[in-house]
Structure formats: structure tokens, C-alpha cells
Amino acid sequence: MNNHVATLRERLVAMYETHDTDSLRSLRDFVDLFPPVDSTAALGRWETARADLESRRTRLAAAFGDRLADIATVATAEMAMRALSLYETHQTGVDVLVLDVDETLRSAGTTDNEIPRESRHLLTELHDRGVPIVICTGQTLENVKGFLIQGLGSEIVHSGTLSVVYEAGNGVFTPGHGGDTKRLLYERLDPSVQRVFDEVRIRALSDAPRPVARGCHLQGNEFSVTLKPNYATGSDRAGSLIDEALLHQVDTVGVAVGERVAPNTSTGTAQDWARAYYAQADPEIATVLGDLADVPEDAAIPTEVTDLFGLIDVAYYEGDAAEVTSLELDKVAGVEAAYEVLGLEAPFALVMGDSKSDLRVMEWVESTGDGISGAPRHATEAVVDHVRRTDGLVFDRGDAATPLRTVSALNTLAGFEE
């Protein structure tokens, strides 16, 4: 392997040093991303660019072979060397893409909230080369289905090799797989857990403080209970509402759990138990709760209450959402189910995401040795730290194309062993 990698490195260095690969990639991007339009002048320009691309690539392939020429048309020298380093470490290409959507594939700040054309094209190419795609998102299924069909096209969505883990693991949707097309993972949970969620959902707005009831809405999830602001995400108003919504969600979980396993408990005591438990579990939640209410430091929580709290997660996203989810159903559980439906056994994955829920998937593939991670620089600090520590791929906001180009080069390099 070392001699093989050394040879590849020498050839890559020579290729990038002796040929104008920047112009080659620019031509390919123009040809691929800006197809002919209904204009004679534009069509002529496109045909000239395509002929120039074919001529340049042919000369490069004659000198360095088709595979290295393919790398040069998609990856910069830096990306190619990064891919070679990954190949040397893992001795394999990427078998599956596990991708978060918001602030990963697309970024509202720079891409009009759509997957950029460049990233869409690279995803299509990798999929056409036999790499399945698992979209792993906290969004509802209906939201993400429409988005994917618009962004990737109906052919890929219904190819049988694309799966959607939605609501951060509550369900898995894999078109073209008969009875396995939709798996409702939350139906596997203990009935006592399901009943707590039913109660929390009923009370999410009906029992909410007036500012929360008027200023928030309940996201249309199938199982998780998510309160979202009726104001711009991240605004001051949204921030104060979500802080209040978090307190309400925690209190409601406390009451619902208390009614389930400690029916003689007062409402105030059940709320104190929940505040103490979830504040201890998450410092960020502790700060928000402490600013709004009394949080007992030494609450004597009954074991049966603690056990049920331990199956229910309360998540806080500043100025964006206060969410109650199942700790038994996370993105890892969803990805495992997606792998099963797709018929993938221990595939080597690229996991890309920006949040704590994505971090769990990244840590999972690291622990099994079955993947690498990627994250935008603006991701949660813990996510970026993990990606850097594990020698993963950090990219700029809205630039998912860079890690996808690197993976394309990696898979081409791995193809030399075929």
C-alpha cells in the first residue's frame, strides 16, 4: 500500500505541476453546470467549451491515464492530496453519503435556501457511480420529500438507493422498497414512552403560557414535539420565546412523566424534578432555565421517574426550537435502519452535518471505523472539534461541493485497487 500510495502521490504532483488543471475544471464546470439555452450564441459558446474540454482531457489522459485525468477535472491539487491522505489511512472509498440538509447541504445565508447547483451536480454524479445517499434531517418527511424532488430530481429520489431519515430518527423513508418503504421507528418504543409524548403534544400549546401559545407554533412532526417561533429564526423575539418554550416543554415533560409513574405527585414537584434533571444533563439548558425559573440543585427524584426521563430528550436550539425527542430514536438509529433497507452492511460513510444530533452519527462511524466526517466551519463547536480531531473535512458555509469533490477523487483513487 505504501509503495502504491507513493506512486500515486508522485503522479498526482507531476500532473498538477505540469498541466493547467484549473482551466480544465473551469471548462468542465461550465459544460456541466450551464447547459445550452435557447440562444444561438450561448449554444455556440457551450459547444466550443465542450470541444476544448474533451481535447484537454484527452491530452491529460494520454500522459497520466484516465483515472488521474478524471480527478483533475473535479478536484484541485489540495483536494486530490487530501483524498490521497484519506485513502492511505482508510484504504477504501466512500460507499454511502449520510447528509444533513440545513446549514450543511444548503445554507440560508448564502444559497437562497436551496442546494447549490454545483453540489447537486456532484451528488448526482456520485449517485450515478453507485454511491447511495441517506438524507439525515430533523425536518418532517413531507418537507424534505418536496425539497429533494425539486433539488435532486424524481429519478434519484425514487431510484431505490436513496433513503430519508426524518425527524432526526423517528422514521425512515426509502422509496421503491415495498413494505419497507416507510418505517415508523417510534412505534417500537415502550407504550409508556409513547403515552408521555402523546400528553406532551396535547399540552404543548393548549397549556402553554400566553406568550408561547401566541408566539410559537407546533411543527408538524409525526412523533417529536417541536415548538418553533412565529418570528424570524435567531431574532431577539424568537430567542426570548424559545427560551420560554423550553421551560414550558421541560415542565410539561415533568408533569406527563409524573402522571405516568408517580400519579400522586403535585404538579410543582414534578416540574421541579424535570427542571433539575434536564439542567444537570445540559449546561446550555441549565442556563436558560436558571434565568427564567427556580431550578432545584438537590431534587430527590424517584428512580422510576429518572428512568423515564432517561428515555426522553429535551433539546434547545437558541432562537429556533424547543424540542422533545426520544433518546432511543436518534439519527444513528435512523441511519442503521436506512442501511438495513438499502442492503448495506458496514459501509464506509461520509457523514456531513452541523449539529449535536449529527455529531452522534459522526461518533458512531468513528467508533466502528466505518466512516469519516465533514462539517461547515460555522457548525456547533463540538462538531467542528470532532471533525478536526478525526482528520475529517471542514468546509466553508454553503460549500458542500468541496468535500463532495474530495470524495469523488477518493473513490477514483480507491478504484485503482479494483
Domain boundaries, the chain: 2-74, 96-177+338-417, 190-326
Q: What's the confidence (pLDDT) of residue 417?
A: 61
- Which residue bears the cell 448564502? 110
Q: Cβ–Cβ contacts within 10 Å for residue 89, how many?
A: 11
To which H or E segment does residue 225 belong?
strand 225-229
* CATH T-level assignment (fold) for domain 96-177+338-417: Rossmann fold (3.40.50)
* pLDDT band, very low/low/confident/very high, at 113 (cuts 50, 70, 90): low
Who's near 176: CB < 8 A, 6+ residues apart? 158, 159, 160
> Tens digits of per-residue pLDDT, 264-303?
999 999 999 999 999 999 999 999 999 999 999 888 999 9
Q: Please give the average per-residue pLDDT across 338-353, as a whole number.
A: 97
Q: Range with the lowest mean pLDDT among 81-85, 97-101, 105-109, 120-124?
A: 105-109
What's the average model confidence in pLDDT over 50-73?
96
- The grid cell for 244 is 420560554
Is 181 a residue whose pLDDT tops 80? yes
| 92 vs 139, higher pLDDT | 92
Q: 215 pLDDT exceeds 50?
A: yes
Question: What's the mean pLDDT in 14-34?
Answer: 94
For the stretch 219-228, pLDDT in tens is: 999 999 999 9
Task: State which H helix or E strand residue 271 sits in.
Answer: helix 267-281
Specify the length of the chain in residues: 418
- For residue 36, the model assigns a pLDDT of 61
Q: How far is CA 374 from CA 2, 14, 111, 274, 283, in A?
A: 25, 28, 19, 35, 25
Residue 112: pLDDT above 90? no
- How far CA 286 is from CA of 211, 246, 274, 290, in Å, comes to 21, 11, 11, 6
The mean pLDDT value of the chain amounts to 94
CA distance 138 to 370: 23
What secondary structure letter does DSSP report for 139? S
Mean predicted confidence (pLDDT) in 315-339? 95
Q: Residues 311, 326: contact at Cβ < 8 Å?
A: yes
**This prediction's pTM:** 0.87
pLDDT digits (tens, 9 = 90+) for 373-395: 999 999 999 999 999 999 999 99
Q: Which spans in 75-116 are helix H?
A: 77-90
Does residue 111 carry a pLDDT above 60? no
pLDDT on residue 374: 98
Confidence class of residue 161 from pLDDT cuts 50, 70 and 90?
A: very high
